[in-house]
Amino acid sequence: MPYAIGIDLGTSNSVVSIVKDGVPTVISDEKGNRTHPSVVWFAWGRKVEGDGILVGARAAHQVMLAPEGGVYSAKRLIGRTIDSLEVQKAREVVPYEILEGPHRDLRIRVHKQVYPLAEISAHVLRYLKGIAESYLGESVEQAVITVPAYFNDSQRQATRDAGRIAGLEVLRIINEPTAAALAYGLGAHRDENVAVYDLGGGTFDVSILRIQGDVFEVVSTAGDTYLGGDDFDGVVVDYLLGQLDDAGRTAVSRSVGARVRIKRAAEEAKKKLSFEEETTIYVGSVYTNEAGEEVHLKTHLTRVQFNQMVFPLVKRTFQVCDEALIAARLEPKDIAAVVMVGGMTRSLIIQEAVDSYFGRPPAKGINPDEVVSVGAAIQADSLLSAMQGNINPNRSLLIDVTPQSLGIATAGGFVERVIERNSSIPTGETRTFTTSWDDQQEVKIEVYQGEGRKIEGNQKLGEFILEGLRPAPRGEVKVSVSFDIDANGIVKVTAEDPSTRQVRSIRVEASAGLTEQEIEDLRFDREEDEGLAPSPEQSEQPGA
């Protein structure tokens, strides 16, 4: 029988699950690992394939030995543009080079080869697909993939593209907090308000859900797509660099290997301080001084020091919680349970802060690393059963929301909102606009996402032109613009001149994404079916 898998494609680690014989199961690899590093490592040479590309734990190990070939934290970059603040921050810490592609998308260069971000995520997805196929003993073609609730349309499209490149039919893109709530509440017949506090490796989201039996309704969501465990690690990295003199810091900035080893030491120290009051941090052979001597780094860090250093980051998460609760018209006391998601929520300071803010400890018995993947698998099984016409006793109704407002550019550089944030999806709205000048015969429809009144405070998703308008004085010709958002949160925009019935529409493809032809050329299953090598032109993209 066919199976559909649920994938939590994380910044630091990823998880794959399945519902088999009605029971959700997290799938382990051959060594028993249930979580898998979202790391890809490329060997030196031309565009490599097969054994030249490592994924998961082997890739993470190889990065320590040869960091120049490693790519990690790709999720923080996917769907972004080269001029974003997040990309500027990433350039300071990652070992690979970040470039601008031909469509204002991001590409990365490793060993002189250039790869789209979606292709990096696709390697991780194919690896998880293979783990599931080994477990089931049969091929897997369909999946539900989760994304942070606050991912915009470009980031969702890029994630879907990654699934297609990996050879998967993506049945649904669902929000991580929604998946977690589904795993938490399925079959429990609860009637309560639940907060999902999702602090992963690279992103933070909080969603407020109302669970009534098997109906899961997202009331509001808020988030920060550049706040996660990597940032907590970064605080410790800064502390460690502060133990070096100017020459040492300069040497580290020039050494990819030293930066990777210091980051790994910072991450390990962060984990230890959740159950130890103090930890010793040692990084060998950080650099060689002018006398030719190897300099090692050894220092101590207490839990109190760590808590003080990361407090501003913890405070930022609760500013987001405030935003979500206000949108839901609720207060912390109205929340019956708090579901914790993401490896960073294992940190003692996070657990204590959540208890203090909501006035109750987090829900017990939930593995924060696995709950999102389990929820995705439940949804995948439900969708697959519906497609096959079967009645699934575990089927639940998910009512999600769009995390950010959508609108179009108007005269004066403003954005007219058409769909407000936290609107239930699927949904659709129509607005009527008029021409801006006499005898205007075409109108450019520019689609934006965000909360700013001016276009500068929003992200442009795409544009198209409606032509053939009848000549008339300004304001006389009307144009109807309709937005439709499907259950995946993907946007379609249609513009119509009611007087002539002239219509133009687009399914808003990410303006910073891959073309349809590029996706087809990159598809891994195409390589396997036709015996094709990966597209050679990827080694000669702009900036290479």
Please tell me the distance from the alpha carbon of residue 355 to that of residue 351, in angstroms, as a whole number. Answer: 6
DSSP letter at 254 equals: T
Decide if 481 contacts 493 (C-beta within 8 A).
Answer: yes
Of 275, 352, 340, nearest in space to 311 by CA: 352
Find tokens 């607005």 and name the residue.
431
Burial 316-337 (b: 16+ CB within 10 A, else e): ebbebbebbbebbebebeebeb
CB atoms within 10 A of CB 419: 21
Decide if 445 contacts 469 (C-beta within 8 A).
Answer: no
Whether a cis peptide bond, with omega within 30° of 0, leads into 536 is no
Question: 415: Cβ–Cβ under 8 A, 6 or more apart, which residues?
Answer: 407, 408, 409, 448, 450, 452, 453, 454, 455, 457, 458
- Give the distance between the most distant pair of CA atoms in the chain: 82
Where in the sequence numbering do the catalytic residues fall?
8, 75, 176, 198
User: Left if phi > 0, otherwise alpha if psi is -120 to 50, otherwise beta: which for 463?
Assistant: beta
Query: For residue 278, what is the enclosing H or E element?
Result: strand 278-288
Please tell me the distance from the alpha carbon of residue 512 to that of residue 518, in angstroms, as a whole number. Answer: 13
DSSP letter at 104 equals: S
Please tell me the distance from the alpha carbon of residue 229 to that of residue 204, in angstroms, as a whole number. Answer: 9
Decide if 441 contacts 468 (C-beta within 8 A).
Answer: yes
Decide if 442 contacts 469 (C-beta within 8 A).
Answer: yes
